[in-house]
Amino acid sequence: MSLSADAGPGGHERPKHISQVLKAGALYFTLVFGAGFVLGSIRVLWLVPRTGERTAELMETPIMLVVTILAARWVAARQALPHSPVLRLGVGCVALGLLLLAEFTLVLGLRGLTISEYLASRDPVSGAVYVAMLGVFALMPLLVARR
């Protein structure tokens, strides 16, 4: 399957679309990760001691959903993303890849955990919601597409 709905001569994808997907994916990741970093700091410093880990993470989720929707809409408009499902899914997958890379390097490095320790330490309820939100994050550039 071609990354571009309008391939160039010989069926090759246009580099412009690849560059656009990478740029939009990086921007989308940056916006959502930045907001998540700020909210995560608030959660860990103020909410967790008062409500516990699970409740604090579940309280943060709807806010992150709104951030994700707004970021996806803004990036799609700002980058003038075509309505191509493949292109928009590409943006979400690039952003998800960057998010997982950041999660497994920066966050785990700061906490001094291995990936196995991190996964084992996740609360089963809020961890499942987090995994679902990763899927929503990857799909959101497609979901906000308007024809």
pTM for the predicted model, two decimal places? 0.85
User: Are 39 and 49 in contact, with CB atoms under 8 Å apart?
Assistant: no
Q: Whole-angstrom Cα distance, residue 55 to residue 141?
A: 28
Intervals of the chain under pLDDT 70: 1-15, 147
Parse the chain into domains and list their residue ranges.
15-143
What is the per-residue pLDDT for 116?
87
What is the per-residue pLDDT for 1?
42
What is the per-residue pLDDT for 2?
44
